[in-house]
Structure formats: structure tokens, C-alpha cells
Structure 1
């Protein structure tokens, strides 16, 4: 084969190879373009199936695969009563409860009181002979006599000084003596009046009559005829007016914020499960118990039939006045960082994220304090499908 023919063959082979390479390159470009086109079509389809976002508005087409999963609800105000349940104890009201203990030591000579009898302030309960009371009487009468003498002496010195016969020194001594005597007499009167003694009817040597300080009834009686009672003994009788009582409820520290809004309470007693007892919040203690981290709340209850007895354990349900409150389903409220939001319908198939302030939860719903208005429509279920919208 000549050199010229060999050269011609090499040129032809080179052209064939270049042609094959060109076809391969074109085929690769076509495959790549087809792949990109397919991907582009797939992304667009996904956007069509789900939703689109334009500024703050999310649009869900009717053909979207999540459209059937979205449920709507028009929010409305509804009456709501906050309820808080806790344990409580029945307690007699301090001003309607008295423990009877004699002011002096002595021996019981007469008994008037019996369990259940009604009393008024000053009602005699029992009598006793007391040496200490005799001494108090003696001091009273001596003070009274000294006061009367000092009073007469002062008047005489004032008359003498007025007529120019008495001296200034004698008058000043009489005035000083009168002031001292008067003070001692007033102290003697006060010491007897504290124990219910009528000084106008007091007779020296009379027995000490122990009386009831309040209106009520005898609920405890340990007085025995002839017994000797010391002035430091425990109370021998108790008088109480139980037509009204306090129920002391223990409210946890975290729930104190609700109490100022509550104006009523229901009391449940285990021994009377079907009896409804109501009361009013009377006072909230200012100090938190460090051991239980709770606050005592006093509830005043009418107790004419004496169902509630001091020392009884009860269940307290605090109830506030019904207030119109905006509630939404718990599934409608979503979180972003530390904020809560809902999706509000602004037009058919169009929704906007709205941040809200939430309150308490109740029966699968959450109270909305701000951010929503009655009669607005929100996504009540399926809102989490839109969380990808940025």
C-alpha cells in the first residue's frame, strides 16, 4: 500500500471517530436536558399539589392534596366559668367562738350551762367561790372608798382656797392625792369589768359568776359541780355561733393569680355527697406556707343546719362569674419560637398567619386573650401542613 493511500485511510478513521464523539456529546446534552426538564416539572407539580406563598398570604388550591385535610371553624365567644378544686378544713369564725376559762382559781358552786343551750352575751354559765375574787372585790371597795375621800378632800381644799383660808400647798397635795386615788379606782373597775362583773350590783363576798362573752350555743362542757378550777387550767367550756363558718382552702402558689377573679365556691362534704353548699371568698392570706407552697383562702359559708363542723375535711371548688371567652381548638394553635399563632382565613382558600396571646386550656380548647376577634374563621385542624410556609 502506498503512503498516499495510508494517509487517506487515517484521515477517514479520524473523521469517523470525531463523528461518533459528536453524536455521544449531543446524546448526553439531550439526556441532561430531559432530566432537568423532568425535575422542573416535578417541583412545579409539588407546588401545585400543596400551596403557594405570596408575601404573608398562603393559598391552597382546590386541587391541592392537603385541601381536603384542612378544616375551618368560625370562632365565637362563649360563657366560661373558671373552676379550681382544692382541699379545705372547716373552722369556726374567731369572733363567733369563745373558750371559757375563769379568771381566778376557785371551786364550782352552781352550774347553769348544758350542751346545746343557746347563749347571749352575759348569759350565766356557772358560779364559783374564789379567794382571789374576794381579794379583787376588797381592792375595789378600798379603792372606791379612797377615791370618794380624796374627792371630798379636794373639794374642801378648793373651797378653803376660794375663801382665802386654805394654802396653795394643801390644795396641790389634795389634787395629787385625788388623781392617784382616781387612777387606782379606775384600774379596780377595769379588772372586774373584764370578767363581766357588774360593779353597780357587786356585793362584797359574792360568788364569781362566769358568763358567756358571745351569742351562740354551748358546744363543749367539762364543768363539774364541786370541782376546783385553777386560773391556768385549760378551758372548761366552749361557746360558738356556727350559723356561719369559715372553710380554709389551700391554694397552690401557682394558682394564686386566679383567686382575685373568683367570687364564689362550692363545698363538697364526703358525708353529704348530694348536698350543695356554697360560700363566698372572704379573705386571701398574704403569706405563702413555705412547707406546702400554698396560700390559705377563707371562704365564708352559711351553716344554719350545722352541716359543716369545725375540724371537718372538705373539698373546695372555686367558681368565678361566667365571662364571655374566645376559645379555639387546641390543634389550631401552633408555636414559632416562644410565640403562638393560628392561620386566619382572609378569603376562600387563602390564609394568613396571626400571632395570638393564649390563656387557660379547657376540654381540648385554648382561650385566646388577644389577636383574634369573634366571627373570624381559622384553620381548626390540619394547620401543621402549612408550617413549611416561610
Structure 2
């Protein structure tokens, strides 16, 4: 046991002696640099040559180091005002011009006895369309003729009383009575004449021996006819003849709210049909609606178009391409424009490697183009490509 204790003591003394004889390790500059390198590799990875350049955000200002990967993806554009031909595309429908379409039926109940027109025929205003035998019409004519005869008789009596009064043969009372009778008869005659004129009938042609002739109220073309000789029709029946003047025609475009600011009266447009896509038809903006459709968020814009070749037909769906010449416009690519919940904005270069997030008001005028209404001036330098990397 004593031997074991002596061995442990000797081992302890030898260990202490080795510690005292060992010289401390000196730290040279080279070893210090190696230590610092190991410290940096903790942040940079295993490649000591790689340097990470971070983008710094300070409110609306962004610092992008010129050596960073993001900086290499940015393309700049210097703003210059220019004359620009703006255009956008929408859809629409073809309709006749106001007053250029007439649906015709008989003004009195009766039986059709004759037809004067055929489908596709061109007619003038007043051209006979069809003939109707109508007792209601004959009764109206009889009343008109009687009123005219009574007026003529009352007029003769009035003129005779006037001559007698001037000769001193009759009294003022008889003269006044004759005058009043004439005025009443004249008003009654005018009333019966106006009834016929309402139905586009000439009171001078009213004759008990002649049937009712229904005439075209406008000049145009017979585009629909359902005349059947022998058919009995009522005055409130569906029209049996349609006359349309299609030399000029409406194209009603549905324009979205965002595009309204680019349209003015007299702006030009092109109308394209599926049947003749290679024959665009020119149109002029004639009217811009004042009511917004709540469901489609669009406004009706009326184009007046020449339709000599009859390419445009009422009810047809078409594509409309609007054009507008803008003077001194500021136009930027859509890739430069970003949006958030509050506004549209771009990134403007205000110093080397320094950019400012700036709100602007812009409108889309093409598939890849927007026009800036406010927020940018000529000479400003903005990011045209790669702005999305700074969001």
C-alpha cells in the first residue's frame, strides 16, 4: 500500500515539472491574421474571396451597392417627353343610328290587302309599304272630311256676315256669333287633321273611297318584312316591316374606367369584325356616356362609322382599337411600374447606388406601356427593368 502511495506522489511531481519547463506559445502577426480569417469565414462561408453586399432600406430610400447581384439586374431609363400615339383595345356591339331605324305596323286595325315592297328594296320617305282595309281608318277619314266641310261652311257664313256688318245691314251680335262658329269649326278641323298626321297620313289625301296606305317614315332599305296579304292585324301588333338606313352606323364600345382618361370626342378608332378581320373600319368618337355600369365597371362610348360596304350589321359583336395622339407625353414601360395597396409607384435614382420609392399616377395605354399623368418630370432617372427586386 505504501508503494502505491509513493508512485502516485512521484507521478504528480513529474507532471508539475513538465508544466514549468514548457514555454508559452507566442502569437505572431501571421497567426493573428489566420485567426481573423477564421472569424470572417464564420460569416462569409468557406470561400474567403466571396463578399456579401447587402441592400439597405431606410424608409422610402434604398441603397443598392454597385457590386451587388441585384444592381447588375437593374436597367435605368432617363425620362423624355414625346409625342405618342396611344392605343388600347376593347369590345363593342353594332347598332343603327338614332332615327335611322323604323319598325312599321298599321295605325288602325284592319286586313292587309296589298304589299308594295320586297326584302332588300331601297325606299324613300313616303314610299308605300302595304295597303290595309280598315273601318276604324274610314271612320277617322269621315270625321276629318266632315270637320273640313263644316269649317268651310262656317268660313263662308263669317265672311258674309262681315260684309253685311260693313254695309250696316246686320248687327254686331250676328257678326260675333258667325266669327265664333268659324273659329270653333277651324279648331275641330285642325284636331282631326292632326290625328291623321300622327300616323304619318296626309289629310289632303283622305278619301272615303280609298283604303289605308301605310308609308315608310324614313329613307333606307327593307331589312325585315312579314307582310302577308289577307292577314288581319291590330294596331298594337308586332311590326311587320322594318326599314333601316345603314349608310352610317353606331358602334357602341364598352370602355373600362381606367381607360376613360385616354378618350376624347372626335378621337379616331378602328372597328374589326370576325368576318373581315383584314378590313378595319374607321370610326370617330361621337359621344361618351355619363353612366357607369356597376357590374362591368365600364362606360358606353359611341363611335360613328361609315358602312358603305355593309360590313357592319346591327347586333354584331366587334373589336375596337382606340387611337389618340398625345403631345409631350411621359411614357414608361409597364415593367417600371409597381403597385401596393395604396398607390402605384416607381424607383427613381437620386444618387449613385441610391434610389427613392416615389408614388405616381399612371394609366395603361398598351400591353407593355403606361402613360404617366403626374409624379415624373423630364430628366428623371428611373429603374425600367428589375424594379421588382427592390420591393
Q: In structure 2, which of residues 328, 331, 340 is the aligned counterpart of residue 327 of structure 1?
A: 331
Q: 1:231 aligns with which of 222, 235, 239?
A: 235
Shift of 1:211: 1.1
Task: Answer with 102-111 or 358-367: which moved more.
Answer: 358-367
| Alpha-carbon shift at residue 64 of structure 1 (Å) | 8.5
Aligned with residue 298 of structure 2, among 280, 286, 294:
294
Match of 1:85 among 90, 115, 124: 90
Alignment counterpart, residue 343 of structure 1, candidates 329, 336, 348: 348
**Cα deviation digits, residues 66-120 of structure 1 (max 9, x gap):** 876664433323424131413x222122311111111112222222100111100
Partner of 1:177: 181
SS at structure 2 position matched to 1:128 = strand
Distance change >3 Å, CA 351–CA 370, structure 1 → 2: farther
Measure, in 2, the Cα distance between the counterparts of 1:331 and 1:109: 71
Q: Aligned residue for 1:7? A: none
Structure 1 pair 59/174, CA: closer, same or farther in 2 (3 Å)? same
Q: How does 1:162-241 map to 2 (within 5 A)?
A: 162-241=166-245
Counterpart for residue 308 of structure 2: 304
CA distance in 2 between partners of 1:267 and 1:304 (Å): 14
Question: Deviation of residue 51 (structure 1)?
Answer: 10
Distance 1:72 1:252 in 2: 31
Q: Is the 8 A contact 2:362 2:374 kept in 1?
A: no
**Unmatched tracts of structure 2, length 5 or more:** 1-31, 41-52
* Conserved 8 A contact 1:120-1:214: yes
Aligned to 1:23: none
2: CA distance between counterparts of 1:290 and 1:70? 41
What are the superposed Cα offsets for residues 294-340 of structure 1, whole Å, 9 maximum, x if unpaired?
33222222111211111222223333235442234556567899674
* Deviation string, structure 1 residues 184-211 (Cα, Å, up to 9, x no partner): 1111222223334344444331121111
- 1:161 corresponds in structure 2 to 165
Q: 2:271 aligned with 1:281, yes or no? A: no
Aligned counterpart for 2:108 among listed residues 104, 108, 113 = 104
How large is the RMSD of aligned CA atoms in angstroms?
3.9
- Is the Cα contact below 8 Å between 2:95 and 2:314 reproduced in 1? yes
Q: CA deviation at 1:153?
A: 1.5
Asked if 1:242 is matched to 2:251, the reply is: no
**Secondary structure of 2:267's match?**
strand
The 1-side partners of 2:389 and 2:108 are apart by 84
The alignment of Structure 1 onto Structure 2 pairs a total of residues equal to 344
Decide whether aligned partners of structure 1 residues 376 and 218 sit closer, same or farther in structure 2, where only a CA change above 3 A counts.
Answer: same
Please give the alpha-carbon distance, in whole angstroms, between the structure 1 residues aligned to 2:296 and 2:339: 33
Contact 1:108 1:227 in 2 (8 A): yes
SS, match of residue 369 in structure 1 = strand
Could you state the TM-score of these two structures normalised by the residue count of structure 1? 0.73
* Contact 1:50–1:65, Cα closer than 8 Å, also in 2: no
Please give the secondary structure, in 1, of the residue aligned with 2:223.
Answer: strand
Asked whether 1:138 is paired with 2:142, we answer yes
**SS class of match (2:183):** helix
